Structure 1
Amino acid sequence: MQDQLKQQATPIMIGAEVFIEPGQTAEEIHLWFSRLKEAGMTVTRIRLFETYMRRPDGKWDFALFDEAYKAAEKYGIRVYGNLFPATAFNDLGGLKFPKDEDHLGAIERYIENVVNHFKQFKACYGWVPVNEPGVGHFPQEQFATDKYREWKAGQAAVEYNSGGYDHFDFADERFHLYYNTWFLQWITHEIHKHHPGSIIHVNNHAIFKNAAEYDFTSWRDFLTSLGGSAHASWHFSYFNRGQYALAISANCQIIRSGAGNIPWFMTELQGGNNTYSGFLSLCPTKEEICQWLWIAIGSESRGAIFWCLNPRSSGIEAGEWAMLNYHNEPSDRLLAAAEVINTVDEHIAFFEKATEVESGVNVLYTRESLWIEKTLQMGGKSYEGRDEGGVMKSALAYFEALSEAGVQANFKEISEFDFSKDDYRGMAIILAHQVSIPSKYWPLLTSFVQKGGRLIADGLTGYYDENAVATMRLGFPLRDLLGADVMEYKAIDNMEEMVTDGIALPAYQWKASLKTTTATPIANKNGEVTATRNNFGDGAVYWLPTLIGLGSRILGEYDHLNRFIAKALDNEMLTLPFVFEEPQQGVLMKVLSAGKEVVTIIINKATVRREFKLLVKDASLQPIVIFANNGGKAGGHHISIQAEETLVIKWV
């Protein structure tokens, strides 16, 4: 019921950002908003640049941006005002933190002037306090240094001290987590001083690298909705282009989990070509625009905003990113987005109340694993499992494998998982190379399995506690849960085969020799136990202490991993109404339901047409194709889908 209320609280809105800068004419601004209207778009975001509104004499001239809000009113477009206090001309992302007390005061005055002015417009829908919070490193400003001293002085002594061993305290990382939250909450308070109760939304970015900076569960207390930026050119360095749909899907799941009981909304999707900006240069195809938009909708997003509608004329991004061409005509990408919008509008009664169908499978990551992995980097030879990114790529491997099986797994930081249930039968947790399991989760994971849950752990999961102290020596805290001890890990130079429960899996980077206590060996090599299953309470744990997931990702082949996962989860645990009969490489599916109605969104990123069968829990359901951008078909439970196609089916 709570999920239904969450969905109904925010309408589905799809749009594109209108970029406002000096030199534009009122006629052109109105034309852009008319283009939004023509495409069926209902929302935009506008960067409210202080440098373009406050004159050198300190007086404010809002005329240019007033024109945008007036145009929005005329064409029925809701506006998120993105606060953008004064910053350098070449600063693409804008303010993240105040520099000092004077700067904080200047930000406060900016908010007072801008919020009080623009709240008068009917088109004013809400506010984005910081564009893309997250800097990827410890903040260096004087204000942060002062705040750090204040914060550290107030920290209580921790109960767990790693058995008295000398250790890292990760105070910098914990402060950074706090500081992001503090600043967002401070700005929210300032906005509400002048516009009480107004909508507050924020878009994190570079989620696969910055996730450890975000305390989403705390953000829920003051945000109206959570969002994100998902730009292939900036944020998807862990993926190749054929995996970008998968990257969007994982990004969406992380934000969806972080949002919890508040709505989420994809604030930025790449809408056009980038030339000199970005870490790589690309232009999304019209097919990719459809894929990314449908994936967001299929992940319960309340819509999306493309960055951006019109090309800016100056700065590093001059002429880039737009969904209109240089003559203000719709590109094939904007026309493709309009087709998606038209389909959503035709079935709005379903999509407005639809929720994602849960599989019960949860890929978890721990921010402490990301902190430790980054802290322990020593340079030297590059190894994918040991380099920064190995932790996240390992988790992504299982997410991708499950996607190819037609299973939409949750992707959560461990603090976002609900450990308070009385029964976990039908649920599974996957801890893929999560090198740190903080001490407070040892009993929670134990209880999860005792109450019927399934746990799969691979790689160096649990190798460290939260302070980077090794746990594998005598007194290993997870011995009872895992039913075994590690005698030692050995680095291996080449990928090896590890036959586990009769399935050949890739052993990569390290392999361990296990000494069982209560577990049953499921992999042996040269007399050494290398993987185990432990029945524990009403549940079971599978321990594969080598990088099975990452090895499969490097090979680009998940069939064997999927066979193992299906066997470990006893198949019947996957209670989705739809799954693929056999895994389909490069294909993913999202499933939404509202009451008795179900919609499947299937995307084929393979280079060839795919023909396959869906396993349908209710065999009486029959397909009606409501969207197909390349002639895809559904006959009975048989799917035919072209390369790069998106196929959306309503089942009746």
Structure 2
Amino acid sequence: MAPLVNKSLLSFLMVLGCFFYGINVSAQVSVNEVPLIGAEVFIEPGQNENDVDTWFKRMKECGMTITRIRMFESYMHKPDGSWDYSLFDRAFKAGEKYNIKIYANLFPATDFDDVGGFKFPRSEAHLKSISNYIKNLAGHFKQFKSLYGWVPINEPGCGHYPKQEFTNLKLAEWKKLQPVAAFNKNSYVHFDFADERFLVDYNTWFLKWLTDEIHRYDNGRPVHVNNHAIFKNAVEYDFPKWRTFLTSLGGSAHASWHFDYFKRNQYAMALSANSEILRSGAGSIPWLMTELQGGNNTFSGNQAMCPTSQEISQWIWTTLATGSKGAIFWCLNPRMSGIEAGEWALLNFQNQPSDRMLAIGQITNIIGAHAQLFANAQVQESGINILYVRQSMWVEKKQSLDFANDFEARKPGAVMKSALAYFEALSQLGLQSNMKEIAEFDFGSDDYTGKTIILSNQIAIPTAYYSKLKSFVQKGGKLIADGSTAYYDENAICVMNNKFPLKDLFGGVIKEYKMRDTLYNVKLNGYTQDFKAHAWQGYIEPATGQSLGKVGNEVIALKNTYGKGKTLWIPSLLGLGSRLQNDYNNLGNLLCNEVDLKDVAFRFPNLEKDMMMKTLKSGNSYLTVIINKSGQKKELTLAGSKSEYKSQLLYTNSGGAVNGKLVSILPEETLVIKWDKN
């Protein structure tokens, strides 16, 4: 066998050169498999065989069919170099006894207080030790029928790469592969975002290296990974490349850790957006939510909370309604020691199910009773695509100053929050919308009639996408852009100066931007109510576009026809302004007028504040999941092209009802309704 350093270098060069291809492995979940619901069992020294058996028994009693286990090297690999697997063997045997599938999560030796695990190797010696760990782990546990698949790393993504020996070596190798910039007389000195680009490739390389190591010793076994803090870390994830070697995609979506862009009554909405980002990232491979918060967090987490049983139900149904093939809670049993001691669990300290776990059992019963219906359920697409742009997040972070706390738009996060604003508005209309990184959108179709792209304050659009966006509209698509969208290119060069490259698409050029206020009014033609916008406002010099609004003699919005399609350009931050005001009524009215809704199966007739609905299609049937976070009982009549179908209430946790297309839903309630043709 060649020396490890050569193998790792070869793998690294292959992934960065985009020359590698995915290996063929059998899928552990498919688009036609019954969703799997479960909870992670935490294994640590001091537990006895009866403890472990009880935990698996409780899962079985609750209708759970899957778990994940952190395979701590520190609890197997002895100081003398020998291995003792007995602590984990009994968990895998219990999985076989109770027919519980197990994801084995690699957790190489690390500090005791390392909650999430390290993200990159520290040195060649460390990489070699990881390889040895995988060899022993996979070689031993592949014998168990309960082994469902491997999770090669827990929660990849950390915001920056470590300045360590191994990483420095890889950075030097990576730089040798980068093309020399071609400058001409019109080029400007600019940022190159090398660190950011390297981090994306470095995450991909290490994940692929781990996957390859697993398959050296357990060939063909499914591999799954859980991304975390998606609204910030999505900038590091090259999902299209990951699909080539992963079997399925997943995520950690802990309200306490990951939803700081949201308030508590918005957590279901946050999970919905999180899930849509993962669904888009997964593409044609299945996805499954790997971690959801199961219980109380006392000292860990950014926000202290204990989910209610209603929230647990909302979270399960939200992920399932976004096409997930299941959900796993963190965790089943409270760990005994460490930073999270006694926290996060679904079982209480007497190993009895909490109200949260009982709520899960009610849902697993529904899934079991309608197994084929949920197995075949697929997201009912609306044709609405909210795109976020990795380079916009890079530029935003680079340009933001630590002391710039006066306006939300000047802080890191404004790019993602602007995209989320449109997602929230559409959700309160009962509409499904995709959340995609721009590279995940399919720009290769021949016809985009009925399709919409929304670019909300995506401040940096890479030059390679100028022609793609033009082609999208030219072929019948609708483009909606607000805020400072396309202010920069991928190198943070302002392209609004001189010749704006999207002039023909947008229908004009920006004369200048002016700072206004935290919230200011924007009046658009045809709308009786003023819109709220945030921070700065763009003033337009029209070319082919038609004015949609003015301030004095200055044009502030354009509609433009380009080929078979149309664009709507409002260079004011309407999305972020609506989000800061916590009022999407006017933005919702705009979207209802601008987005093609004729083929939408189900939607709310009007914007319903703090409510959401998601729609699935299974065979000839439809499923709608409706969640009420408004704090009051709601009665509404659903609209949409299929609203005349016969309704059947499959699930309620508070006593709501459905009569035809009339829905009655109580505060915090979740309704799941099946619809069939009369």
* TM-score bin, normalised by smaller chain: over 0.9
Note if 1:618 corresponds to 2:656: no
Q: Which amino acid aligns with 1:440?
A: A
Which of 24, 33, 45 is the equivalent residue of 2:56?
33
User: Equivalents in 2 of 1:230, 1:222: separation in Å?
Assistant: 23
Deviation at 1:494, TM superposition (A): 3.8
Q: 1:473 to 1:191 in 2, by over 3 A?
A: same
* Superimposed CA distance per residue, residues 301-331 of structure 1 (whole angstroms, 9 cap, x where no aligned partner): 0101000000000000000000000000000
CA contact (8 A) 2:506 2:560 kept: yes
Q: 1:259 to 1:189 in 2, by over 3 A?
A: same
Q: Which amino acid aligns with 2:614?
A: K
Note if 1:304 corresponds to 2:327: yes
Q: Which amino acid aligns with 1:585?
A: K
Which position in structure 2 is the counterpart of 1:507?
533
Which position in structure 2 is the counterpart of 1:431?
455
Note if 1:524 corresponds to 2:547: no
Which of 161, 170, 185 is the equivalent residue of 2:193?
170
Q: 1:219 to 1:9 in 2, by over 3 A?
A: farther
TM-score normalized by the length of structure 1 = 0.98
User: Equivalents in 2 of 1:6, 1:201: separation in Å?
Assistant: 10
Q: Which amino acid aligns with 2:482?
A: D
Three-state SS of the structure 2 residue aligned to 1:137 is coil
The farther-off stretch of 159-168 and 321-330 is 159-168
Which of 283, 288, 297 is the equivalent residue of 1:265?
288
Which position in structure 1 is the counterpart of 2:45?
22
Q: Which amino acid aligns with 1:642?
A: L
Q: 1:222 to 1:159 in 2, by over 3 A?
A: farther
Q: Which amino acid aligns with 2:274?
A: N
Which position in structure 2 is the counterpart of 1:557?
583
CA contact (8 A) 1:162 1:469 kept: no
Which of 480, 483, 492 is the equivalent residue of 1:456?
480
Note if 1:566 corresponds to 2:592: yes
Which of 566, 574, 578 is the equivalent residue of 1:540?
566
Which of 463, 470, 477 is the equivalent residue of 2:494?
470
Which position in structure 1 is the counterpart of 2:345?
322
| Structure 2 unaligned residues grouped into runs of 5+ | 1-26
The farther-off stretch of 562-571 and 259-268 is 562-571
CA contact (8 A) 1:393 1:550 kept: yes
Deviation at 1:527, TM superposition (A): 1.0
CA contact (8 A) 1:354 1:594 kept: yes
Which position in structure 2 is the counterpart of 1:483?
507
**Identity of counterpart residues, as a percentage?**
53
* Superimposed CA distance per residue, residues 382-408 of structure 1 (whole angstroms, 9 cap, x where no aligned partner): 121110110000000000000000101
Note if 1:93 corresponds to 2:116: yes
Q: 1:90 to 1:286 in 2, by over 3 A?
A: same
Q: 1:634 to 1:122 in 2, by over 3 A?
A: same
Deviation at 1:616, TM superposition (A): 3.4
The farther-off stretch of 614-623 and 348-357 is 614-623
User: Equivalents in 2 of 1:14, 1:289: separation in Å?
Assistant: 12
Deviation at 1:495, TM superposition (A): 1.6
User: Equivalents in 2 of 1:365, 1:8: separation in Å?
Assistant: 26
CA contact (8 A) 1:7 1:355 kept: no
Which position in structure 2 is the counterpart of 1:386?
410
User: Equivalents in 1 of 2:169, 2:548: separation in Å?
Assistant: 54
Which of 190, 206, 209 is the equivalent residue of 1:183?
206
Q: Which amino acid aligns with 2:431?
A: V
Three-state SS of the structure 2 residue aligned to 1:616 is coil
User: Equivalents in 2 of 1:141, 1:623: separation in Å?
Assistant: 59
Q: 1:555 to 1:568 in 2, by over 3 A?
A: same
Three-state SS of the structure 1 residue aligned to 2:572 is coil
Deviation at 1:571, TM superposition (A): 4.2
CA contact (8 A) 2:648 2:658 kept: yes
Three-state SS of the structure 1 residue aligned to 2:94 is helix
Q: Which amino acid aligns with 2:549?
A: A
Deviation at 1:161, TM superposition (A): 7.7
Deviation at 1:375, TM superposition (A): 1.0
Which position in structure 1 is the counterpart of 2:276?
253
Which position in structure 1 is the counterpart of 2:432?
408
* Superimposed CA distance per residue, residues 608-633 of structure 1 (whole angstroms, 9 cap, x where no aligned partner): 01111101313541110000000111
User: Equivalents in 1 of 2:43, 2:500: separation in Å?
Assistant: 58
The farther-off stretch of 203-212 and 163-172 is 163-172
User: Equivalents in 2 of 1:415, 1:637: separation in Å?
Assistant: 38
Q: May I ask how many residue pairs the two structures share in their alignment? A: 647
User: Equivalents in 2 of 1:162, 1:588: separation in Å?
Assistant: 52
Structure 1 residues 285-296: aligned runs within 5 Å = 285-296=308-319
User: Equivalents in 2 of 1:299, 1:159: separation in Å?
Assistant: 43
Q: 1:541 to 1:330 in 2, by over 3 A?
A: same
Q: Which amino acid aligns with 1:441?
A: Y
How large is the Cα RMSD of the aligned pairs? 1.4
Structure 1 residues 66-145: aligned runs within 5 Å = 66-145=89-168
Deviation at 1:113, TM superposition (A): 0.4
Q: Which amino acid aligns with 1:527?
A: N
CA contact (8 A) 1:96 1:130 kept: yes
Note if 1:282 corresponds to 2:305: yes
| Structure 1 unaligned residues grouped into runs of 5+ | none
